[in-house]
């Protein structure tokens, strides 16, 4: 399970250190793709395969299902960490998530998320204000 929040910088070549705490669970290769809320999602291969199977079951006749699947898979790339524990993030993904210098890497259960520092702070402040309301709504999911 991935959890925690870490501050890292992305270099001019698009390389960012993955926290050492996450590296073993991420595995030798993993999938990086566009996530929701203008961040990137990184999945270990076994989690990616589970997600892939679920997405394959979405009805092709539904416009939203096609759009989501296209969005998610078209940005996906298989990645490996270099000897320094860095991932090389392709330019289109860096652009999508506005990753330029200061970044935040967070663990979210079965995935890792990469955020620009500014985007994360903005998202966190917005969510923090409504956290009680969000928590109340989660009761519908038996949490």
How many CB atoms neighbour CB 92 within 10 A? 12
Which pLDDT tens digit goes with each residue over 63-93? 999 999 999 999 999 999 999 999 999 999 9
Which pLDDT tens digit goes with each residue over 25-45? 999 999 999 999 999 999 999
User: For residue 136, is pLDDT > 90?
Assistant: no
- Point out which residues pair with 38 in neighbouring strands: none
Find out whether 121 and 39 touch, Cβ atoms under 8 Å.
Answer: no
User: For residue 143, is pLDDT > 60?
Assistant: no
Domain spans, the chain: 2-141
Domain 2-141 is in which class?
Answer: alpha beta
pLDDT at 39: 97
């Amino acid at each position: 399970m991935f959890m925690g929040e870490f501050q890292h910088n992305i270099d001019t070549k698009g390389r960012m250190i993955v926290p050492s705490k996450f590296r073993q669970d991420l595995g030798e290769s993993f999938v990086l793709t566009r996530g929701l809320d203008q961040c990137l999602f990184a999945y270990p291969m076994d989690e990616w395969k589970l997600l892939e199977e679920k997405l394959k079951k979405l009805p092709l006749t539904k416009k939203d299902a096609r759009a989501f699947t296209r969005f998610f898979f078209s940005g996906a790339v298989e990645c490996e960490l270099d000897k320094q524990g860095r991932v090389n993030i392709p330019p289109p993904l860096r652009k999508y998530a506005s990753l330029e210098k200061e970044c935040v890497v967070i663990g979210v259960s079965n995935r890792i998320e990469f955020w620009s520092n500014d985007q994360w702070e903005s998202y966190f402040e917005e969510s923090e204000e409504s956290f009680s309301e969000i928590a109340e709504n989660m009761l519908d999911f038996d949490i």
